[in-house]
Structure 1
Amino acid sequence: MSFTRTRALIVLAVLAALAIAGVAVALVRDTQGDAAAQGCPAGATTVNVKLPEHSDQVKLRILNGTRTTGRAEQVSEEFKNRGFQMQRPADSRSKVAKVAVIKFGPKTVGAAQWIRAYFLGEGVAQYEATRTTDVIDIVVGDQYKQLATTTEVNQSLAQLSDPKLPPGTCAA
Protein backbone atom coordinates (compact mmCIF):
# COMPACT_ATOMS: atom_id res chain seq x y z
CA MET A 1 0.00 0.00 0.00
CA SER A 2 1.28 3.42 -0.88
CA PHE A 3 2.06 6.12 1.63
CA THR A 4 -0.77 8.33 0.31
CA ARG A 5 -3.35 5.62 0.75
CA THR A 6 -2.09 4.83 4.28
CA ARG A 7 -2.20 8.51 5.24
CA ALA A 8 -5.82 8.79 3.93
CA LEU A 9 -6.90 5.76 5.98
CA ILE A 10 -5.28 7.21 9.10
CA VAL A 11 -7.07 10.54 8.58
CA LEU A 12 -10.42 8.74 8.11
CA ALA A 13 -9.81 6.66 11.25
CA VAL A 14 -9.01 9.78 13.29
CA LEU A 15 -12.14 11.56 11.97
CA ALA A 16 -14.31 8.54 12.79
CA ALA A 17 -12.85 8.38 16.31
CA LEU A 18 -13.52 12.10 16.82
CA ALA A 19 -17.11 11.71 15.59
CA ILE A 20 -17.73 8.79 17.96
CA ALA A 21 -16.20 10.76 20.84
CA GLY A 22 -18.39 13.78 20.01
CA VAL A 23 -21.55 11.68 20.02
CA ALA A 24 -20.56 10.05 23.31
CA VAL A 25 -19.95 13.46 24.95
CA ALA A 26 -23.29 14.78 23.66
CA LEU A 27 -25.16 11.79 25.06
CA VAL A 28 -23.46 12.01 28.44
CA ARG A 29 -24.04 15.77 28.83
CA ASP A 30 -27.65 15.67 27.53
CA THR A 31 -29.94 17.40 30.03
CA GLN A 32 -33.18 16.55 28.21
CA GLY A 33 -32.84 12.79 28.45
CA ASP A 34 -35.44 12.46 31.19
CA ALA A 35 -37.78 15.26 30.04
CA ALA A 36 -40.41 12.92 28.63
CA ALA A 37 -40.27 10.68 31.67
CA GLN A 38 -41.02 13.53 34.07
CA GLY A 39 -44.72 13.67 33.06
CA CYS A 40 -47.04 16.24 34.52
CA PRO A 41 -46.04 18.52 37.37
CA ALA A 42 -47.56 17.69 40.74
CA GLY A 43 -51.21 18.73 40.91
CA ALA A 44 -51.61 19.20 37.15
CA THR A 45 -54.56 17.59 35.39
CA THR A 46 -53.92 15.59 32.24
CA VAL A 47 -56.11 16.65 29.33
CA ASN A 48 -56.87 15.21 25.91
CA VAL A 49 -55.82 17.79 23.30
CA LYS A 50 -56.17 15.44 20.33
CA LEU A 51 -58.68 16.51 17.71
CA PRO A 52 -61.24 13.78 16.99
CA GLU A 53 -61.01 12.09 13.60
CA HIS A 54 -64.77 11.74 13.11
CA SER A 55 -67.78 13.67 14.34
CA ASP A 56 -69.37 10.52 15.81
CA GLN A 57 -66.57 10.51 18.42
CA VAL A 58 -67.92 13.73 19.95
CA LYS A 59 -70.89 13.93 22.35
CA LEU A 60 -72.75 17.24 22.53
CA ARG A 61 -75.59 18.68 24.56
CA ILE A 62 -77.15 21.90 23.31
CA LEU A 63 -78.63 24.34 25.81
CA ASN A 64 -80.85 27.26 24.82
CA GLY A 65 -79.37 30.45 26.26
CA THR A 66 -81.86 32.69 24.43
CA ARG A 67 -85.49 33.66 24.86
CA THR A 68 -86.24 32.06 21.46
CA THR A 69 -88.22 28.86 21.93
CA GLY A 70 -86.82 25.79 20.18
CA ARG A 71 -83.34 27.19 19.51
CA ALA A 72 -81.59 24.30 21.30
CA GLU A 73 -83.60 21.72 19.34
CA GLN A 74 -82.76 23.44 16.04
CA VAL A 75 -79.01 23.58 16.72
CA SER A 76 -79.05 20.04 18.09
CA GLU A 77 -80.64 18.80 14.87
CA GLU A 78 -78.00 20.63 12.79
CA PHE A 79 -75.17 18.96 14.73
CA LYS A 80 -76.94 15.58 14.53
CA ASN A 81 -77.16 15.94 10.74
CA ARG A 82 -73.38 16.39 10.74
CA GLY A 83 -72.87 13.09 12.54
CA PHE A 84 -72.32 14.16 16.15
CA GLN A 85 -73.65 12.14 19.08
CA MET A 86 -76.36 14.28 20.62
CA GLN A 87 -77.76 14.37 24.14
CA ARG A 88 -81.26 15.66 24.79
CA PRO A 89 -81.38 19.49 24.30
CA ALA A 90 -82.53 21.66 27.20
CA ASP A 91 -82.92 25.25 28.34
CA SER A 92 -80.04 26.96 30.09
CA ARG A 93 -80.52 28.60 33.48
CA SER A 94 -78.53 31.60 32.28
CA LYS A 95 -79.01 33.63 29.13
CA VAL A 96 -76.07 34.28 26.77
CA ALA A 97 -75.69 37.45 24.70
CA LYS A 98 -72.78 36.10 22.63
CA VAL A 99 -72.84 33.47 19.86
CA ALA A 100 -72.28 30.51 22.18
CA VAL A 101 -70.51 29.31 25.30
CA ILE A 102 -68.73 25.96 24.96
CA LYS A 103 -68.27 24.16 28.29
CA PHE A 104 -65.87 21.23 28.41
CA GLY A 105 -63.62 19.25 30.71
CA PRO A 106 -60.23 17.49 30.61
CA LYS A 107 -61.46 14.67 28.36
CA THR A 108 -62.64 17.00 25.59
CA VAL A 109 -60.16 19.88 25.20
CA GLY A 110 -59.31 18.92 21.61
CA ALA A 111 -62.91 18.23 20.67
CA ALA A 112 -63.99 21.59 22.12
CA GLN A 113 -61.51 23.33 19.84
CA TRP A 114 -63.14 21.60 16.87
CA ILE A 115 -66.60 22.65 18.07
CA ARG A 116 -65.40 26.27 18.40
CA ALA A 117 -64.61 26.11 14.68
CA TYR A 118 -68.31 25.44 13.97
CA PHE A 119 -68.96 28.88 15.47
CA LEU A 120 -66.05 30.38 13.49
CA GLY A 121 -64.02 30.81 16.67
CA GLU A 122 -66.65 33.14 18.17
CA GLY A 123 -67.87 30.59 20.71
CA VAL A 124 -66.47 31.34 24.16
CA ALA A 125 -64.49 28.36 25.47
CA GLN A 126 -65.11 27.62 29.14
CA TYR A 127 -62.86 24.95 30.64
CA GLU A 128 -64.18 23.24 33.78
CA ALA A 129 -61.44 21.23 35.50
CA THR A 130 -63.92 19.35 37.71
CA ARG A 131 -65.99 18.07 34.80
CA THR A 132 -65.68 14.28 34.55
CA THR A 133 -67.94 13.62 31.57
CA ASP A 134 -66.94 13.46 27.91
CA VAL A 135 -69.99 15.49 26.85
CA ILE A 136 -69.47 19.07 25.66
CA ASP A 137 -72.22 21.52 26.62
CA ILE A 138 -72.97 24.28 24.14
CA VAL A 139 -75.07 27.17 25.41
CA VAL A 140 -76.39 28.89 22.28
CA GLY A 141 -76.68 32.66 22.64
CA ASP A 142 -78.57 35.55 21.09
CA GLN A 143 -75.94 36.29 18.42
CA TYR A 144 -76.07 32.76 16.97
CA LYS A 145 -77.08 32.69 13.30
CA GLN A 146 -76.03 29.29 11.90
CA LEU A 147 -73.29 26.68 12.02
CA ALA A 148 -70.33 27.06 9.70
CA THR A 149 -70.05 25.01 6.52
CA THR A 150 -67.41 22.28 6.25
CA THR A 151 -65.07 24.59 4.36
CA GLU A 152 -65.56 27.37 6.90
CA VAL A 153 -64.92 24.91 9.76
CA ASN A 154 -61.63 23.82 8.16
CA GLN A 155 -60.55 27.43 7.65
CA SER A 156 -61.55 28.32 11.19
CA LEU A 157 -59.59 25.37 12.57
CA ALA A 158 -56.52 26.59 10.72
CA GLN A 159 -56.93 30.04 12.26
CA LEU A 160 -57.60 28.69 15.76
CA SER A 161 -54.51 26.43 15.48
CA ASP A 162 -53.80 23.66 17.97
CA PRO A 163 -55.77 23.51 21.21
CA LYS A 164 -54.12 25.47 24.01
CA LEU A 165 -53.58 23.77 27.35
CA PRO A 166 -55.80 25.27 30.05
CA PRO A 167 -53.93 26.57 33.12
CA GLY A 168 -52.87 23.85 35.54
CA THR A 169 -52.98 21.08 32.94
CA CYS A 170 -50.63 19.05 30.78
CA ALA A 171 -51.18 16.98 27.64
CA ALA A 172 -52.02 13.32 28.11
Structure 2
Amino acid sequence: MRTLWLTGSGTEMQMARIRAIALISTLAIIGITLAVITLNRDTQAEAPVVESCPAGYVPVNNKLPDSESEVKINVYNATSTVDLARNVAADFTNRKFKVEKTGTDPKKQPDIVAQLRYGPKAVGAAQLLRAYFLNAVEEDGFNIKREDDTIDVIIGGEFKQLATPTEMRQAVAALGNPILPPGTCAQQP
Protein backbone atom coordinates (compact mmCIF):
# COMPACT_ATOMS: atom_id res chain seq x y z
CA MET A 1 0.00 0.00 0.00
CA ARG A 2 1.23 3.42 -0.86
CA THR A 3 0.98 6.33 1.48
CA LEU A 4 0.82 9.90 0.32
CA TRP A 5 2.54 12.37 2.51
CA LEU A 6 1.10 15.85 2.64
CA THR A 7 3.54 18.56 3.43
CA GLY A 8 1.09 21.02 4.80
CA SER A 9 -2.00 20.92 6.85
CA GLY A 10 -5.36 22.11 5.60
CA THR A 11 -5.15 25.17 7.84
CA GLU A 12 -1.86 26.35 6.32
CA MET A 13 -3.24 26.08 2.78
CA GLN A 14 -6.35 27.98 3.80
CA MET A 15 -4.21 30.78 5.27
CA ALA A 16 -2.17 30.98 2.02
CA ARG A 17 -5.39 31.47 0.03
CA ILE A 18 -6.57 34.20 2.40
CA ARG A 19 -3.21 36.02 2.09
CA ALA A 20 -3.39 35.82 -1.75
CA ILE A 21 -6.95 37.18 -1.80
CA ALA A 22 -5.99 39.96 0.61
CA LEU A 23 -2.97 40.92 -1.53
CA ILE A 24 -5.03 40.99 -4.77
CA SER A 25 -7.79 43.01 -3.09
CA THR A 26 -5.26 45.54 -1.76
CA LEU A 27 -3.69 45.96 -5.20
CA ALA A 28 -7.13 46.43 -6.79
CA ILE A 29 -8.06 49.11 -4.24
CA ILE A 30 -4.76 50.93 -4.81
CA GLY A 31 -5.31 50.81 -8.61
CA ILE A 32 -8.86 52.18 -8.36
CA THR A 33 -7.73 54.91 -5.95
CA LEU A 34 -4.94 56.02 -8.31
CA ALA A 35 -7.35 56.08 -11.28
CA VAL A 36 -9.84 58.27 -9.36
CA ILE A 37 -7.11 60.66 -8.22
CA THR A 38 -5.72 60.92 -11.76
CA LEU A 39 -9.13 61.68 -13.26
CA ASN A 40 -9.91 64.30 -10.60
CA ARG A 41 -6.60 66.10 -11.11
CA ASP A 42 -6.87 66.08 -14.94
CA THR A 43 -6.19 69.60 -16.20
CA GLN A 44 -7.43 68.96 -19.74
CA ALA A 45 -10.98 70.05 -19.02
CA GLU A 46 -11.30 71.99 -22.25
CA ALA A 47 -11.08 70.77 -25.85
CA PRO A 48 -7.68 71.11 -27.49
CA VAL A 49 -7.00 74.34 -29.32
CA VAL A 50 -7.22 73.92 -33.09
CA GLU A 51 -4.60 75.63 -35.19
CA SER A 52 -5.89 78.43 -37.35
CA CYS A 53 -4.60 79.56 -40.71
CA PRO A 54 -1.37 81.54 -40.74
CA ALA A 55 -1.74 85.22 -41.58
CA GLY A 56 -2.45 85.76 -45.26
CA TYR A 57 -3.50 82.16 -45.94
CA VAL A 58 -6.96 81.34 -47.26
CA PRO A 59 -8.96 78.49 -45.65
CA VAL A 60 -10.15 75.86 -48.13
CA ASN A 61 -12.71 73.09 -47.96
CA ASN A 62 -10.57 70.06 -48.72
CA LYS A 63 -13.07 67.50 -47.45
CA LEU A 64 -14.20 64.99 -50.05
CA PRO A 65 -17.98 65.20 -50.48
CA ASP A 66 -20.03 62.32 -49.10
CA SER A 67 -22.02 62.17 -52.33
CA GLU A 68 -21.92 63.52 -55.86
CA SER A 69 -25.23 65.26 -55.14
CA GLU A 70 -23.30 67.74 -52.96
CA VAL A 71 -21.20 68.93 -55.93
CA LYS A 72 -22.30 71.81 -58.18
CA ILE A 73 -20.73 72.03 -61.63
CA ASN A 74 -20.85 73.99 -64.86
CA VAL A 75 -19.86 72.06 -67.99
CA TYR A 76 -18.21 73.89 -70.90
CA ASN A 77 -17.15 72.63 -74.31
CA ALA A 78 -13.66 73.73 -75.41
CA THR A 79 -13.83 71.86 -78.72
CA SER A 80 -15.68 72.21 -82.01
CA THR A 81 -17.77 69.07 -81.26
CA VAL A 82 -21.45 70.02 -81.27
CA ASP A 83 -23.43 69.35 -78.03
CA LEU A 84 -20.40 67.94 -76.19
CA ALA A 85 -21.04 70.03 -73.06
CA ARG A 86 -24.72 69.06 -72.99
CA ASN A 87 -23.91 65.33 -73.42
CA VAL A 88 -21.23 65.35 -70.72
CA ALA A 89 -23.57 67.33 -68.44
CA ALA A 90 -26.21 64.61 -68.94
CA ASP A 91 -23.62 61.99 -67.92
CA PHE A 92 -22.81 63.99 -64.79
CA THR A 93 -26.51 64.42 -64.02
CA ASN A 94 -26.94 60.64 -64.26
CA ARG A 95 -24.16 60.36 -61.69
CA LYS A 96 -26.14 62.69 -59.37
CA PHE A 97 -24.02 65.86 -59.78
CA LYS A 98 -25.88 69.19 -59.72
CA VAL A 99 -25.29 70.66 -63.16
CA GLU A 100 -25.90 74.43 -63.02
CA LYS A 101 -24.92 75.55 -66.56
CA THR A 102 -23.62 74.25 -69.87
CA GLY A 103 -22.01 76.21 -72.66
CA THR A 104 -18.98 76.85 -74.82
CA ASP A 105 -15.59 77.83 -73.46
CA PRO A 106 -14.10 80.57 -75.66
CA LYS A 107 -10.60 79.06 -75.42
CA LYS A 108 -10.37 76.02 -77.69
CA GLN A 109 -8.30 73.29 -76.04
CA PRO A 110 -8.01 70.29 -78.35
CA ASP A 111 -4.98 68.80 -76.56
CA ILE A 112 -6.48 68.22 -73.10
CA VAL A 113 -8.99 65.77 -71.64
CA ALA A 114 -10.42 68.29 -69.19
CA GLN A 115 -9.65 71.19 -66.92
CA LEU A 116 -11.32 71.99 -63.62
CA ARG A 117 -11.66 75.61 -62.53
CA TYR A 118 -12.60 76.13 -58.90
CA GLY A 119 -11.99 78.15 -55.77
CA PRO A 120 -11.23 77.51 -52.09
CA LYS A 121 -14.74 76.25 -51.29
CA ALA A 122 -14.47 73.39 -53.81
CA VAL A 123 -11.00 71.83 -53.35
CA GLY A 124 -12.37 68.51 -52.02
CA ALA A 125 -15.15 68.40 -54.61
CA ALA A 126 -12.59 69.00 -57.38
CA GLN A 127 -10.67 65.96 -56.15
CA LEU A 128 -13.80 63.83 -56.58
CA LEU A 129 -14.35 65.23 -60.09
CA ARG A 130 -10.71 64.60 -60.98
CA ALA A 131 -11.36 60.89 -60.34
CA TYR A 132 -14.07 60.86 -63.02
CA PHE A 133 -11.38 61.83 -65.53
CA LEU A 134 -8.93 59.26 -64.08
CA ASN A 135 -6.70 62.17 -63.05
CA ALA A 136 -6.14 63.27 -66.69
CA VAL A 137 -6.99 66.85 -65.74
CA GLU A 138 -4.97 70.02 -66.33
CA GLU A 139 -3.79 71.22 -62.92
CA ASP A 140 -3.83 75.01 -63.32
CA GLY A 141 -7.54 75.61 -62.61
CA PHE A 142 -7.42 76.69 -58.94
CA ASN A 143 -8.27 80.36 -58.37
CA ILE A 144 -7.68 81.53 -54.78
CA LYS A 145 -9.95 84.58 -55.32
CA ARG A 146 -12.97 82.62 -56.52
CA GLU A 147 -15.75 82.83 -53.92
CA ASP A 148 -18.37 80.29 -55.05
CA ASP A 149 -18.45 76.53 -54.48
CA THR A 150 -19.20 75.62 -58.11
CA ILE A 151 -16.63 73.89 -60.32
CA ASP A 152 -16.27 74.70 -64.01
CA VAL A 153 -15.56 71.53 -65.98
CA ILE A 154 -13.89 72.38 -69.30
CA ILE A 155 -14.05 69.46 -71.75
CA GLY A 156 -11.13 69.29 -74.21
CA GLY A 157 -10.53 67.49 -77.47
CA GLU A 158 -8.86 64.45 -75.83
CA PHE A 159 -12.00 63.61 -73.82
CA LYS A 160 -13.53 60.19 -74.58
CA GLN A 161 -15.82 59.35 -71.66
CA LEU A 162 -16.23 59.62 -67.90
CA ALA A 163 -14.88 56.86 -65.70
CA THR A 164 -17.16 54.02 -64.66
CA PRO A 165 -18.19 53.93 -60.98
CA THR A 166 -15.58 51.24 -60.29
CA GLU A 167 -12.82 53.16 -62.08
CA MET A 168 -13.84 56.32 -60.22
CA ARG A 169 -13.63 54.63 -56.80
CA GLN A 170 -10.22 53.21 -57.66
CA ALA A 171 -9.06 56.65 -58.83
CA VAL A 172 -10.31 58.31 -55.61
CA ALA A 173 -8.33 55.76 -53.59
CA ALA A 174 -5.23 56.31 -55.73
CA LEU A 175 -5.50 60.11 -55.53
CA GLY A 176 -5.86 60.17 -51.74
CA ASN A 177 -6.68 63.36 -49.89
CA PRO A 178 -6.56 66.65 -51.79
CA ILE A 179 -3.28 68.54 -51.70
CA LEU A 180 -3.68 72.07 -50.38
CA PRO A 181 -2.98 74.69 -53.05
CA PRO A 182 -0.21 77.22 -52.27
CA GLY A 183 -1.31 80.02 -49.93
CA THR A 184 -4.12 77.95 -48.38
CA CYS A 185 -4.78 75.94 -45.24
CA ALA A 186 -7.42 73.39 -44.29
CA GLN A 187 -10.71 74.89 -43.18
CA GLN A 188 -11.52 73.88 -39.61
CA PRO A 189 -14.93 72.24 -39.00
Provide TM-score, normalisation by structure 2.
0.72
The whole-number CA distance in structure 2 between the counterparts of 1:57 and 1:46 is 19
Give the corresponding residue for 1:66. Answer: 79
Q: Distance in 1 between matches of 2:67 and 2:91?
A: 16
Match of 2:137 among 107, 123, 137: 123
- What are the ranges of 5 or more consecutive residues in structure 1 without an aligned counterpart? 1-6, 16-26
Q: Which residue of 2 aligns with 1:24?
A: none
Please give the alpha-carbon distance, in whole angstroms, between the structure 1 residues aligned to 2:171 and 2:94. Answer: 20
SS of the aligned residue for 1:76 comes to: helix
**Greater alpha carbon shift after TM alignment, 148-157 vs 116-125:** 116-125
Q: What secondary structure is seen at the aligned counterpart in 1 of 2:154?
A: strand
Match of residue 88 from structure 1: 101
Give the Å deviation of 1:54: 1.4
How many angstroms does 1:34 deviate by? 6.9
Structure with larger Rg = 2
- Tell me by how many angstroms 1:35 deviates: 6.2
Aligned counterparts of 1:144 and 1:50: Cα–Cα separation in 2:
27
SS of the residue aligned with 2:64?
coil
Distance 2:123 2:164 in 1: 22
TM superposition shift of 1:170: 3.2
Distance in 2, matches of 1:148 and 1:88, equals 21
Q: Give 1:132 deviation, angstroms.
A: 0.8
Contact 2:62/2:186, CA 8 A, preserved across alignment = no
Letter in 1 for 2:178: P
Q: How far apart, CA to CA, are the structure 2 residues paired with 1:124 and 1:156? A: 16
Q: Contact (CA 8 Å) 1:44, 1:170: kept in 2 or not? A: no
Q: How big is each residue's C-alpha offset from its partner over 1:126-145, in whole Å with a ceiling of 9 and x where there is no partner?
A: 21111111110011001000
Select which of 138, 152, 161 maps to 2:176.
161
Is the counterpart of residue 106 in structure 1 residue 120 in structure 2?
Answer: yes
Written as runs of structure 1 = structure 2, the 5 A alignment for 1:127-166 is: 127-166=142-181
TM-score by length of 1: 0.79
Q: Partners of 1:115 and 1:144 in 2: how far apart?
A: 14
**Partner AA of 1:123 in structure 2:** V
Instruction: Indicate the residue corresponding to 2:66 in structure 1.
Output: 53
Displacement of 1:169 after TM fit? 3.2
Structure 2 runs not aligned, ≥5 long:
1-22, 32-41
1:81 Cα deviation from its structure 2 partner: 1.1
CA distance in 2, matches of 1:52, 1:127: 18
Say which SS state the counterpart of residue 101 (structure 2) adopts: coil
- 2:92 is matched with 79
CA drift at 1:171: 3.3
